[in-house]
Amino acid sequence: MSLDFKTIYAADKFTDLRAPRPRRAKYDFAVAYADPGSLPHADILESLEEALTEYGSELAIYTHLQGNTKLREYLVERLLKNRDIDVTVDDIILGNGSAENIDMVCDREGGFFIVNYKMEGKLSNLALRTSCNQLRFTDELWKGTVFEIFLKSENSKSYYEWNFCPSNRFAAYKFDSYRHPEPATINKSTKIEYLFFDVTDTELRFEIKFSLPEELKDVDDFQIQLSAIIKDRSSPKLEYFALQHPTDKPDFHNEDCFQFILNTRG
């Protein structure tokens, strides 16, 4: 028995089997294989020359903690014009790349507080302390990669600070007022319900559930400061992240940093 393949061929054959070329924007940076000829090389060189002429002397020093001020001013105008988003210069933070993408989420469960951190990006150079088999109180965690939580009742002068490191290390302190006493009073009553962390070359996940101090267990409205200090093995520089940077230098204890109000009345 022989098969006649002619009967299953399409009657109308394509003369050109090549797929049509997709239409792209003039400057398509959404894909990794943009046409080099579409890039405005001359304009880019001219812009770089202008930028180096105006800002070249600043390359050797750190810029503003939130990024170049003029660029943030430009973004404020563009966001309002193109997206109808009304923000101020102080609301914008310019990061160095995707490695600075940090999410921090918090919640309360009875007498316990729960915080989730997630950091994404190229994390192969992330500097972490040596991991411990069991939870260990460790002072001065702020000298390296650490995630911090500050809590106080609304309008109170006293506040608590917790430091957690994705290596089974933590610290807890109490302050009667701004950075007082010094050194801080160690909060020995903290109980860690669980501390989970997972670190890969592209993602860090970190979750903590810890007990609240007695004086905060009946509080309905918390003022919260969530922050992080990140250290890269390739640089001695520490990078500081917070809900608010009220001064030119990072100061997580500053009262203006407690910008977030968590209502737990249910």
Domains and CATH numbers, the chain: 36-91 (no CATH), 98-263 (2.60.40.1190)
DSSP for 167-207, written as a single string: TTEEEEEEESBTTBSSSPEE-TT--EEEEEEEE-SSEEEEE
DSSP state of 72: H
Q: In whole angstroms, how far apart are CA 107 and each of 58, 143, 147, 156, 172?
A: 42, 27, 16, 20, 18
pLDDT number for residue 73: 92
- Tell me phi and psi for residue 232, to 5 degrees: -105, 140
The pTM (predicted TM-score) of the whole model is 0.62
Q: Can you tell me the distance from the alpha carbon of 229 to that of 206, in angstroms, rounded to the nearest whole number? A: 14
Q: Can you tell me the distance from the alpha carbon of 81 to that of 90, in angstroms, rounded to the nearest whole number? A: 18
**Neighbouring C-beta atoms of residue 216, cutoff 10 Å:** 18
Can you give the pLDDT of all 266 residues of the chain as single tens digits? 555 656 655 555 555 555 555 555 554 454 455 566 777 888 889 988 888 888 777 776 666 656 778 888 999 999 888 878 888 887 776 765 544 567 777 888 888 999 888 887 778 888 888 888 888 899 999 999 999 999 999 888 999 999 998 888 999 999 999 999 888 888 888 899 988 888 888 788 889 999 999 888 888 888 888 888 988 888 788 888 887 788 888 899 998 888 778 776 55
pLDDT number for residue 171: 93
